[in-house]
Amino acid sequence: MNIDGVKRRTAPIQRQTPTHKPIAARPAVRRKTITTRPIGLLSFIDRRQFATIVITFIITFAFSIATSQGLAAVTSHNPISANQSSTTDAALASAQPTMSNLDFAVTEQPKTLELNQYVLTRPDQVYVPSEDANLPDPLKERQEFLKQYLGAKHSPLADHVEALSEQSQWKLIIAISRAESSFCKHEVTNNCWGIGGAWNMKNYKNYDEAVADVNRILEQHYISAGLDTPKEIVKKYVGHQSDTWQAAVEQELQNLASVK
């Protein structure tokens, strides 16, 4: 090269080799293929554990069968056990209520309870038979007293103390009989109490019937109306005031006041 008349020799231009390495080619990526498998129960259980469970179940089942067969053989060879079992079953069956063991024949009807007039009119007082309980019998004691008392007065009522003692107003009946007929010693047609009046005297078959009727009349027409003393009874019973009648009745009630 001639620069400014000086011939100069120029060195040849050398190409510089690049210092960086060429980029190597990337290896090809190998893709994996994912294969799906069905999920089962055994995939979650260990095979050894599963085998142990199966073997244990087989052994237990075989042992239970052998035991049941042994018990059946023992029962069949033991008649006592079989008889006891049948007896127990029969007892349980008989214990169940059935129409056959509930039905029964009535062989005897109960006796009808009969109450006397005294018990019916005085329900607050109950008398028990002496043979059933070791207790004093007020009715019997009353009968014994009246038999002696009326017998001492020579009254025909002494032979009818059973009917007389059972009446609720027995004291008033005796007291009126004293005022009307001197304890039935001066009576007409068994009427010791003047029932019906002198012109219409009521007839009775016997003293027992008369005593029961007089008790009914006193209860219905006097006691129920509040007339329970001789002073309250006299005017209605006699028809007028009679001091003699009233005094006789009052005196007799006093004589019988202590008797029950």
List, for residues 157-168, the tens digit of each pLDDT value. Answer: 999 999 999 999
CATH number of the domain that residue 146 is part of: 1.10.530.10
Count of C-beta atoms within a 10 Å radius of residue 158:
18
In a domain, 30, yes or no: no
In a domain, 92, yes or no: no
Count of domains forming the chain: 2
CB distance 157 to 177 below 8 Å: yes
**227 and 164 co-located in one domain:** yes
**140 and 247 co-located in one domain:** yes
**139 and 69 co-located in one domain:** no
**142 and 249 co-located in one domain:** yes
CB distance 220 to 228 below 8 Å: no
**140 and 246 co-located in one domain:** yes
**139 and 78 co-located in one domain:** no
In a domain, 42, yes or no: no
pLDDT (0 to 100) of residue 190: 94
What pTM does this model have? Answer: 0.49
pLDDT (0 to 100) of residue 44: 57
Going by pLDDT thresholds of 50, 70 and 90, the confidence category of residue 116 is: low
**63 and 143 co-located in one domain:** no
Rounded distance between C-alpha atoms, residue 59 and residue 72, angstroms: 20
In a domain, 27, yes or no: no
For residue 242, with 0-12 CB atoms within 10 Å meaning exposed, 13-18 middle and 19 or more buried, which class applies? middle
**148 and 57 co-located in one domain:** no
In a domain, 211, yes or no: yes
Q: What domain range is 73 assigned to?
A: 47-82
In a domain, 87, yes or no: no
Phi first, then psi, for residue 2 (nearest 5°) are -105, 105
In a domain, 176, yes or no: yes
List, for residues 224-239, the tens digit of each pLDDT value. Answer: 999 999 999 999 999 9
**65 and 142 co-located in one domain:** no
List, for residues 4-58, the tens digit of each pLDDT value. Answer: 555 555 555 555 555 555 555 565 556 555 555 555 555 555 677 777 888 888 8
Phi first, then psi, for residue 24 (nearest 5°) are -75, 150
HEC assignment per residue over the chain: CEECCEECCCCCCCCCCCCCCCCCCCCCCCCCCCCCCCCCHHHHCCHHHHHHHHHHHHHHHHHHHHHHHHHHHHHHCCHHHHHHHHHHHHHHHHHCCCHHHHCCCCCCCCCCCCCCHHHHHCCCCCCCCCCCCCCCCHHHHHHHHHHHHHHHCCCHHHHHHHHHHCCCCHHHHHHHHHHHHCCCCCCECCECCCCCCCCCCCCCCCHHHHHHHHHHHHHHHCHHHCCCCHHHHHHHHHCCCCHHHHHHHHHHHHHCCCCC
Give strand pairing partners of 2: 7
